Structure 1
Amino acid sequence: MGYQEDSPLAQYFEQSQYDTSIYTGFHPLDTGHDALLARITLIESAKYTLDLQYYIYRDDETGHLLTWRLYEAAERGVKVRVLLDDMQERNDDDLARLNSHPNIQVRLFNPNNYRKARNLGFLAEFSRLNSRMHNKSLTADSVVSIVGGRNIGNEYFSYQSVVEFGDFDLLLYGNTVEQTADQYDEYWNSEFAVPVEWINPTNKELTSEEVKQFALDQDFKGQFTSGHYDMTSLKFYSDMRQHKLQIYWGKGKLLYDKPTKIIGEGSQLIDDLQIVLQDVTSEIIIISPYFVPTQIGTDMLVSAVQSGKKVTIVTNSLASNDVYAVHGWYAKYREELVEGGVDLWEIKASAEIKNKWSMTGKSHSSLHAKVMLIDDDTLFVGSMNWDPRSAQINTEMAVLILQEEFVSESKAEMEGHIRNMAYKLEVEDGDLVWQDLAEQTTYTSEPDASIWRRMGAWVAGVLPIEEQL
């Protein structure tokens, strides 16, 4: 799909200082409410096309809101394509009815053949179904994209969720948008992307009257434009309306796996990333919610420190990790990393996430951002965790941008907040300890984690499952 010069989005971001065939302009989406509003803005502003690609798309309030806006876009003539990984169980009838709109196409990536007995299908075809499309992108008119770590669901947008994910996306304009659109087409046209009508050839059509009634019943306008969750009161909203959105510019490139990775053809993203990491001169900061470095990765990180580079890892603590099996295997490498000179931090479950809609006292914080800051000028943001599953099994994507100002600001901000948000791991007298530098407290076992969670992580660490994590 070509670049649409007369799209309202092109007119909004139009500039003459940078060559957009080389440069990418981006705005960081580091809060859930801004990330949700940015997606709605792109959907409402699109004139020609909308392409969505997600691993998870929840059947909840924010998922309903975005689907409603997609339907409204289709009603005004926008061509909408939705590509969803099929790991999440969804209602095939609902997808088929949405797909019945002449301007909406829905495809499922690597679908389970057993629609009603999915667990049976997974057991029958484990090798195929174990590999998933973990990519996350939204592109409007081939002009603006959102790429990063967020799926679609309440917990990713800090909306009425028991768990609040600390996540990160980039709103993109410039050369990486065209690359994202090309990546999308490659997945959309692959043999693994199956049209919903092949899976559920329903004759039932979704009518505009039904959608209007659904929107009224859900009270979308009341929920999201008034009261506690009023998106019109956000700074991002006023900045967009007044053309004051801060845009950083830098040379950018999209890194992504080919769809054929799911049949064992290797990771193009990892190959490209290895070239980038070989050129690190002074420092690397890795932010990864699911961090399983393996022995090879641990040796590599320690070797980097020994060669004079500063290595910092920020990941979840056991209490903040929503997948304790991952923690069980990550824990095996902690002492070796710390003793090797790696600065290792674990996010507190009580960490305060930047969120205007914070459900204080009801929420549980969990890191979900996948970011790397390399040397003084390189930013890496995408869907990839630092674990065997991302490296070897699932498909992933990320954007790499050279931008010294943003990297410098991000490192300074992290230094200012990390002591309050995370535990610093140290080794004292041969034992691992957790330093709460804000409270001047030292813990000798996993902070804030129940005995059952500790036992679950320990059992997972005994099982031979590292390559699946």
Structure 2
Amino acid sequence: MSAGGSGRFARLRQTLLGRRYWQRYRFTGNNQVELLRSGDAFFDALIGRIDAAEHSVALETYIFCDDEAGQEVSDALLRAAARGVRVRVITDGIGTARLKMFEQWPAGGIEHRIYNPHLFGRFGFSRTHRKLAVIDDQIAYCGGINIVDDYENNGERLPYRRWDFAVELRGPVVADVRDAIDVQWRRIRVGHRPLDSMKPDLAPQDASSLGSLRRRRRRRNEQLWAGGEPCVAFVARDNLINRRAIEKAYLAAIGQARHEILLANPYFMPGRKLRRALVFAARRGVVVKLIIGRKEFKALDYAVPFLYNALLRAGVQIAEYEKTLLHGKVAVVDSNWGTVGSSNLDALSLMLNNEANVVLVNDAVIARLRDAILDAFADARPIDEAHYESRPARLRALSWIAYTSYRLAMKLLTVGGYD
């Protein structure tokens, strides 16, 4: 191909990717949001909606277990398919085992596709870590809750149900969740970039019109926020177009924080940009409270504390949650911005996996989410700076080794993308 032809292709590709990005990440008003805490609330709502479905059910999850919760969801899906409802399920090739129940699904009318069946497949090392559902194109779910018993964790019984959240959505945002599942469905069958998913974007568009589209989207978002109207955005990340969409959503909110940042995450290993944003926020007087989960992966239990030093010195308040398994990936900023989703703040979620979060602005459920995070912070073990600095040399060395090993491994997996 000639240099001129290559340049034209590059410009067209940039236009297409830019256009799709702005289509996928948009704020809309006139949505209804319900916050669901724990698997009990989520499964009751999900199964009820599946049983009432008339046309379609689409579900995407990282883990689908053959336990009581999984059987109840599977039975509801089979009942829906028996009524003539189109039922589609996407599971991850590593997160979900080859279950006996899956053998019943084709005969029962359930369409099932597996994302990246092998550890290194045609989608590389990436997993679909998303937890999504759409019923009749009218109701959507997004959050951190897998299809697994709330008290079960790797063969052990938890003392309390997982600390986790999902949201039930109605309104314009449902279309964005549906489109994300549809693209994933086609991608699994066709490849990384389904041709039919690109057809709407093939109209020529120059850089000025792309800039105009971005400015219109920005003005629309600013109008929604300034007017105090509740608005919602569905933010998905993938390895094709929206590579840093979720990280950028966090950075934008943290950068604009004036009073308070509350953040809870089980695997806190973000890159330098996000860590610096938290440090700068604390230094300018913002109250920053960070809750970190523990006791799921021992290597991370040693690696994560290596990051505490700079955060504590800046005034960030850190607490480690050990009451039960902290699985929620949630945050609230200044009581008017919140997020619930599947994305951990680590290299795998921010750089490799398919993830999905919902961002809420000025919505009433943010107050409930804020209260839940503050309650968890009160139940967690605070990290005292003086005690942290006095750790034995052996423990500090082990923390450095674990962090350095993690960072090198992630550098390799992300081909240098993780910083």
TM-score clears 0.5: yes
State TM-score, norm by structure 2: 0.73
Change (3 A) 1:252 1:21: closer
**Residue equivalent to 1:260:** 240
Partners of 1:186 and 1:259 within 8 A in 2 = no
CA 1:134–1:193: 2 relative to 1, 3 Å: farther
Distance in 1 (alpha carbons) for counterparts of 2:340 and 2:152: 18
Are residues 414 and 267 of structure 1, via their aligned partners in 2, closer, same or farther at CA, if it must alter by over 3 Å?
closer
Tell whether 2:328 aligns with 1:369.
yes
**CA-CA distance at 1:70 after TM superposition:** 0.6
Alignment length, in residue pairs? Answer: 344
Corresponding residue to 1:58 among 65, 82, 87: 65
- Give SS of 1:399's match: strand
Alpha-carbon spacing, 1:22–1:404, altered in 2? closer, same or farther (3 Å)? closer
Asked if structure 1 preserves the Cα contact closer than 8 Å seen for 2:61 and 2:147, the reply is: yes
Alignment of 1:23-422 (within 5 A): 23-88=30-95, 90-91=97-98, 95-101=102-108, 103-112=109-118, 122=119, 125=120, 128-155=123-150, 162-163=157-158, 164-191=161-188, 250-258=230-238, 260=240, 266-317=243-294, 321-348=295-322, 351=323, 365-403=324-362, 405-416=364-375, 418-419=377-378, 421-422=379-380
3-state DSSP of counterpart to 1:23: coil
One-letter code of the match for 1:106? H
Q: What whole-Å deviation, never above 9, does each CA across 1:53-87 have from its counterpart, x for those lacking one?
A: 00111122211121111111110111100011111
Q: d(CA) in 2 for partners of 1:404 and 1:25? A: 9
2: CA distance between counterparts of 1:186 and 1:300? 32
Alpha-carbon distance in 2 for matches of 1:189, 1:307: 46
Q: How does 1:437-448 map to 2 (within 5 A)?
A: none
Gaps of 5+ in 1: 1-19, 113-121, 195-248, 352-364, 433-443, 446-450
Match of 1:235 in 2: none
State the Cα deviation string for residues 266-325 of structure 1 (Å, max 9, x = none): 3333344434443333322111011113444333211121123222111124xxx21122
CA apart distance, 1:410: 3.7
Query: Under a length normalisation based on structure 1, what TM-score does the superposition of the two structures give?
Result: 0.66
For structure 1, which segment, 89-98 or 372-381, has the greater mean C-alpha deviation from structure 2 after superposition? 89-98
Change (3 A) 1:192 1:343: farther
Amino acid in structure 2 at the alignment position of 1:135: R
Amino acid at match of 1:70: L
Q: What whole-Å deviation, never above 9, does each CA across 1:312-356 have from its counterpart, x for those lacking one? A: 111124xxx2112222221111122111110111112xx2xxxxx
Unpaired stretches in structure 2, ≥5 consecutive residues: 1-26, 192-228
Change (3 A) 1:323 1:62: same
Give the letter for the 2:167 counterpart. L
